[in-house]
């Protein structure tokens, strides 16, 4: 059996390409630094922002509405606060910003706090999207449930209490629209379109390869969907990765390789340099890395066993990585791999039920899940152990025995982490 051609013929080609992309990244960071200097030196800016989150907070008997917003014009995410009630705001605001000179470059690239003044509560111009959001609300009696569905369908902010609960359950990755959701949608769309396209293709143009044609149609529909929900960075990253993967597939090149993953990461950083400080990005990178690692050593199993291995394997392998940053330990998190498996069926099914006006079918079950409460505690993995674990992760590419050691370490860590309960 002929092997698929590799993306790079030699290791030298790979490292030269990485060096070139790194140089491009430095150029991008230079221009971003120039924009940062200009931004913080000006006394104020006027900009329109999209409200990502808005919740009220009380301090010394005084309330503030904390805002997390994104400015498309300035291409920055930041927090701010206002005395305007959250219920009196909309998803679009016109702000007057007051940059402070102590702002660091890392704050500019990441998510900082900027004082602001609301000049105007704008009327959102996304009429179709707002109509669909209202339609979802009509199908549910619980604001928590409607918040959940609006988040997984249209990338809207979660209700604050619900956000805490999904974090406790360890299923935040299922709520925030990402490559996982795009993969599910692409599979469903491919299946549906092929039912109609295949007979036409066989009758009128049998010389065409339907996988390529349907793949192009699916990617076009997904591009529209990413734009329609507001182009959240997580979806843009995932879509670009999916698009480049499809191009390599069409070219008949090797897809599941770590050189391909490294190239995609560098390309994304060149296009979106602010991802350097995005935890969500690096967690998604590690998730994909572990998928590739599991497929490298277990691809000889049938697809059902591989599905189980990936679902449970990623959960176990990611635990040490997660606990380098997030301390909360809750036994409800053990349900995460089971919920992830079920979500691949639940997601398209619930979308279809909402289209039919039957979106409330799972409400009772979801409410029971979202009100589960159990005692948790905090644990952070020290930098030394975290560094050793990451080193083992990288060395696992080259040796299955090191990979088995890595998995044993991760599994032992997970048992130790939850045994206290």
Domain shared by 184 and 257, yes or no: yes
Among the three residues 231, 258, 277, which one is the final residue of a domain in this structure?
277
Domain shared by 118 and 181, yes or no: no
Residues 213-255 pLDDT 10s: 888 899 999 999 988 887 776 788 788 888 888 887 777 776 6
Q: What is the DSSP letter of 43?
A: S
Q: Which residue, among 124, 161, 129, has the nearest Cα to 143 in the 3D structure?
A: 161
Domain shared by 112 and 181, yes or no: no
Q: DSSP per residue over 315-335, as a string?
A: HHHHHHHHTTT--EE-GGGGG
CA 141 from chain centre, in angstroms, equals 28
Residue 79: inside a domain: yes
* End-to-end CA, the chain: 51
Domain shared by 187 and 268, yes or no: yes
The SS3 of residue 257 is: coil
Residue 408: inside a domain: no
Residues of the domain holding 245: 171-277
Domain shared by 181 and 259, yes or no: yes
Among the three residues 226, 249, 277, which one is the final residue of a domain in this structure?
277
Domain shared by 197 and 260, yes or no: yes
Output the pLDDT for position 124: 63
> What is the CB neighbour count within 10 angstroms for residue 173?
21
Residue with tokens 């795009």: 182
Output the pLDDT for position 1: 45
Which H or E run includes 46?
strand 45-59
CA distances from 385 to 320, 328, 394, 411 (A): 9, 18, 14, 15
Domain shared by 177 and 262, yes or no: yes
Spatial distance between the Cα atoms of 26 and 213, rounded to a whole number of angstroms: 38
168, 376 Cβ separation under 8 angstroms: yes
Spatial distance between the Cα atoms of 29 and 316, rounded to a whole number of angstroms: 35
Residue 254: inside a domain: yes
* pTM score: 0.84
The token duo for 306 is: 């591989």
57, 64 Cβ separation under 8 angstroms: yes
Spatial distance between the Cα atoms of 148 and 371, rounded to a whole number of angstroms: 13
The token duo for 159 is: 């209700």
CA distances from 286 to 76, 291, 324, 398 (A): 25, 9, 13, 17
Residue 265: inside a domain: yes
70, 49 Cβ separation under 8 angstroms: yes
Q: What is the CATH number of the domain that holds 86?
A: 2.40.50
Domain shared by 176 and 260, yes or no: yes
The SS3 of residue 355 is: helix
CA 300 from chain centre, in angstroms, equals 29
Residue 354: inside a domain: no
Spatial distance between the Cα atoms of 328 and 118, rounded to a whole number of angstroms: 35
Residue 155: inside a domain: no
Spatial distance between the Cα atoms of 46 and 66, rounded to a whole number of angstroms: 19
Phi-psi region of 176 (alpha: psi -120 to 50; beta: other; left: phi over 0): beta
Report the domain count for the chain.
2
Spatial distance between the Cα atoms of 198 and 382, rounded to a whole number of angstroms: 55
Residues 122-170 pLDDT 10s: 766 666 777 888 889 899 988 888 888 988 898 887 777 787 778 777 7
Residue 179: inside a domain: yes
Domain shared by 247 and 182, yes or no: yes
Spatial distance between the Cα atoms of 326 and 304, rounded to a whole number of angstroms: 31
Residue 30: inside a domain: no
**To the nearest 5 percent, what fractions of the chain are helix, strand and coil?**
65, 15, 25
The token duo for 197 is: 């396209």
Among the three residues 232, 247, 277, which one is the final residue of a domain in this structure?
277
Output the pLDDT for position 48: 85
The token duo for 383 is: 């930098």
Spell out, as residue ranges, where the chain has pLDDT lower than 70.
1-5, 88, 123-127, 233, 254-255, 420-421
Question: Which strands make up the sheet holding 92-98, listed edge to edge?
Answer: 111-113, 76-82, 62-71, 45-59, 92-98, 115-122
Spatial distance between the Cα atoms of 218 and 243, rounded to a whole number of angstroms: 10
Phi, psi of 63 (to 5 degrees): -105, 150
The SS3 of residue 306 is: helix
> What is the CB neighbour count within 10 angstroms for residue 122?
14
Spatial distance between the Cα atoms of 354 and 139, rounded to a whole number of angstroms: 8
Q: Which residue, among 420, 417, 398, has the nearest Cα to 170 in the 3D structure?
A: 417
């Amino acid at each position: 059996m002929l092997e698929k051609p590799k993306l790079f013929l030699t290791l030298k080609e790979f490292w030269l390409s990485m060096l070139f992309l790194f140089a491009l990244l430095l150029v991008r960071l230079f221009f971003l630094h120039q924009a940062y200097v200009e931004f913080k030196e000006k006394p104020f800016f006027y900009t329109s922002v999209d409200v990502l989150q808005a919740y009220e907070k009380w301090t010394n008997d005084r309330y503030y509405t904390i805002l997390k917003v994104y400015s498309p014009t300035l291409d920055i995410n930041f927090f701010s606060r206002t005395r305007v009630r959250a219920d009196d705001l909309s998803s679009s605001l016109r702000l007057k910003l007051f940059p402070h000179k102590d702002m660091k470059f890392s704050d500019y690239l990441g998510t900082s706090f900027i004082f602001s003044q609301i000049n105007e509560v704008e009327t959102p111009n996304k009429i179709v999207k707002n109509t669909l959001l209202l339609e979802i609300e009509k199908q549910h009696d619980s604001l928590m449930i409607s918040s959940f569905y609006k988040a997984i369908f249209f990338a809207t902010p979660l209700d604050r209490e619900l956000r805490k609960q999904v974090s406790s359950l360890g299923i935040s990755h299922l709520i925030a629209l990402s490559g996982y959701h795009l993969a599910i949608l692409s599979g469903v769309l491919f299946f549906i379109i092929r039912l109609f396209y295949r007979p036409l293709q066989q009758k009128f143009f049998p010389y065409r390869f339907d996988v390529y044609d349907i793949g192009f149609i699916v990617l076009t529909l997904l591009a529209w969907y990413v734009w329609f929900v507001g182009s959240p960075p997580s979806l843009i990253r995932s879509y670009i990765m999916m698009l480049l993967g499809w191009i390599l597939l069409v070219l008949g090149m090797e897809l599941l390789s770590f050189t391909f993953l490294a190239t995609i990461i560098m390309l994304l950083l060149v296009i979106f340099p602010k991802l350097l400080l995005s935890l969500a990005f690096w967690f998604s990178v590690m998730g994909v890395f572990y998928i590739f690692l599991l497929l490298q050593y277990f691809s000889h199993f049938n697809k059902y066993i591989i599905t189980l291995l990936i679902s449970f394997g990623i959960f176990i392998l990611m635990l040490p990585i997660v606990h380098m940053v997030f301390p909360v330990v809750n036994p409800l998190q053990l349900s995460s791999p089971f919920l992830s498996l079920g979500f691949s069926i639940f997601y398209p099914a619930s979308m279809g039920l909402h289209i039919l006006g039957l979106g409330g079918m799972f409400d009772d079950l979801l409410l029971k899940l979202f009100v589960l409460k159990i005692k948790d505690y905090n644990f952070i993995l020290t930098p030394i152990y975290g560094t050793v674990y990451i080193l083992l992760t990288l060395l696992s590419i080259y040796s299955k025995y090191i990979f088995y050691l890595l998995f044993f370490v991760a599994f032992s860590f997970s048992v130790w982490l939850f045994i206290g309960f």
